[in-house]
Structure 1
């Protein structure tokens, strides 16, 4: 008589093979993939190092401490050819930041205006906005940079025949030359006062909102904020001696001396990037506004709000939740597209890095620096916009 089989549960020691366990199998597959990737990376790095050693090409980032020995057309900080490659690359990075920050601000403002105009009940305004969007989206951004750059150099006169629309303001193929404030400690203090006023306004708005939710009492946030933002810099300027001295540009020889010059390269880059990206931002704004139900607008109008108040207080705050994610992508695109400035001679980070690579032969290190810098710019922009997106989203109760 054969023995009876036990119907009890298997003992803990009787486990199934690991290849039948989904969790263990997934861990094994991931380890294998990581091993293959590491092996390929090791092969590529070892092969590159061997080829560089065979051709007697130095590696590493020691070249950053050497003298750059080349000039940069414009810079945010002081720079000369006697400075190091590290400072030259810093100048290029700051030039890229200048274009990206100013470009993002102008793009958001212009794109929002055009997106709202696209929905205007006025037939002419709506059609002009639509035509702008179609034209700018269909022309590659690089061609737009070439167009604006050529427009400055071929259409504008030379310095001796510069246009003089205002006293001390000149426009020629060397750029826009305007008067400049003389150096004074007050200007830095004014900037700090403005930053402090903005921080106080931000805290004041949060306090006023919590107070209104708790007690129902309103606070004149707009008037107080305007007084702080205008009054703090003005008071700082007055207490520090009220400096008014400016340096007017004067023509000496074949160029202007003194004042502040906005170069054609910077202006062309800024115009091209802003006008191109604003067309996409306008469509994002239009879609965000149309995503808000018509009932919201009708309810706001029934309460007696004016059209401008309906847009500012009801429509746009709700549309932001739809606008912010694709708007982040356009900000990233503008920052990355700023690398095209090398095509028209603006000394951004890519241009300075290319010059550094040509002089030192450190191509791998130079390209790696370009990748790391633009990755940092993109991650920083994305992190800020993700934070703002969390602040603007609806909170379920």
Structure 2
């Protein structure tokens, strides 16, 4: 039947939706909007009820709320701190800041060390050397099946069983290992060293910019200028010139046994050392499996083609296989970084004063339990989101782009 002979009412029914919008419950878009509004309303009502109920209970028990306690003198003794701290003068806010810095100290160093160890073990599992492959496999299958808390207690007990300072194990007067921690000779830091460090950072930026310029010149002319002379001048020569201009101070502060303990040098406490060892060895066992699976995800033909070109196995791994495997490795690797950061909260079990330990002491002294827990949650949420954002940016940077 043609349009001309069709029923006028059918024609009107086809045209009607174009003239106006008729909303009905059968419309899936309308239903989804309604359900979302209902769910958001229910969540808002539950949150409003919980906040009101909490405020009423706190008022009935005459418990003050708010973060005003952060300005009060803390009086919390803290064994190790990256910034100056006096419990008789500094406030709870400063004490909590020290807890955050101690947590970051574990997380940042732990992520670097566990990445190095995990990559080496993961590659070792794929080695053609039978002994190396079996040893790394034994490490992975053993360490990751033992609870991390038990491993922390094991390392802490082992470090506590070391000899006293007078019988400390030493390495040529440079490092001493005893039950009170590890003492290391360190550089007596001067302003000249800070300026030289800034010069090194500027050299890194300059090297990156010059490398990009060399790449663009190679794309345009086919000839790539040498980058290493510029990098050597910026990364080594420039900081050395700054250091020499400012007087070239260089004094080593060595630890010396005086009385019942060492004086001078740098100190690594048994609590921090045990926490770092436990988290690194535990997390590295998972990263090793991630690296192994990522390498195995690269087709075998890549190895064979590179071998046919005469490349050594190590060069093939570094320049061909690992860059491709990174696209598989990065997403689960991010989860392991987050796990290591969150597992650092177990530091309270061995006496290391991180944000959890200091916040628990703070809320016990002030009675501000809700605020203390909120600070802990905010710190870990901020650190975790920062790690996720950086790793997602890096993952997007190395992703394959179809053109």
Report the TM-score, using the length of structure 1 for normalisation.
0.94
Deviation at 1:202, TM superposition (A): 2.4
Deviation at 1:178, TM superposition (A): 1.2
Match of 1:8 among 8, 11, 27: 11
> Over residues 210-235 of structure 1, what are the superposed CA-to-partner deviations in whole Å (9 max), with x where a residue is unaligned?
33333332343355435533333333
Match of 1:84 in 2: 91
Match of 1:336 among 330, 338, 342: 342
Q: Is the Cα–Cα contact under 8 Å of residues 23 and 30 in structure 2 kept in the other structure?
A: no
**Structure 1 pair 215–55 and aligned structure 2 pair: CA distance change class (3 A):** same
* Matches of 2:398 and 2:228, distance apart in 1: 20
* Matches of 2:341 and 2:201, distance apart in 1: 24
* Matches of 1:268 and 1:367, distance apart in 2: 25
Q: Is the Cα–Cα contact under 8 Å of residues 187 and 250 in structure 2 kept in the other structure?
A: yes
Match of 2:388 among 366, 377, 382: 382
Match of 2:308 in 1: 302
Question: Residue 137 in 1 paired to residue 144 in 2?
Answer: yes
**Structure 1 pair 394–208 and aligned structure 2 pair: CA distance change class (3 A):** farther
Question: Residue 210 in 1 paired to residue 213 in 2?
Answer: no
Question: Residue 150 in 1 paired to residue 151 in 2?
Answer: no
Q: How is 1:84-163 mapped onto 2 (pairs within 5 angstroms)? A: 84-154=91-161, 156-163=162-169
Match of 1:38 in 2: 44
Match of 1:314 in 2: 320
Q: How is 1:200-349 mapped onto 2 (pairs within 5 angstroms)? A: 200-222=206-228, 224-349=230-355
> Over residues 222-253 of structure 1, what are the superposed CA-to-partner deviations in whole Å (9 max), with x where a residue is unaligned?
55435533333333322221111122222222
Match of 1:61 in 2: 67
Report the TM-score, using the length of structure 2 for normalisation.
0.93
3-state SS of paired residue (2:10)? coil
* Matches of 1:98 and 1:393, distance apart in 2: 30
After TM superposition, the structure 1 stretch with the greater mean CA deviation from structure 2, 249-258 or 106-115, is 249-258
* Matches of 2:245 and 2:136, distance apart in 1: 47
After TM superposition, the structure 1 stretch with the greater mean CA deviation from structure 2, 239-248 or 84-93, is 239-248
After TM superposition, the structure 1 stretch with the greater mean CA deviation from structure 2, 218-227 or 353-362, is 218-227
Structure 2: 5+ residue stretches without partners: 1-6
Deviation at 1:24, TM superposition (A): 1.9
Structure 1: 5+ residue stretches without partners: none
How many residues in Structure 1 have an aligned counterpart in Structure 2? 393
> Over residues 90-109 of structure 1, what are the superposed CA-to-partner deviations in whole Å (9 max), with x where a residue is unaligned?
11101111111111111111
Match of 2:369 in 1: 363
* Matches of 1:208 and 1:221, distance apart in 2: 7
3-state SS of paired residue (1:331)? helix
**Structure 1 pair 127–267 and aligned structure 2 pair: CA distance change class (3 A):** same
Deviation at 1:5, TM superposition (A): 7.8
3-state SS of paired residue (1:7)? helix
**Structure 1 pair 216–308 and aligned structure 2 pair: CA distance change class (3 A):** farther
* Matches of 1:313 and 1:226, distance apart in 2: 23
Deviation at 1:15, TM superposition (A): 5.5
* Matches of 2:301 and 2:330, distance apart in 1: 22
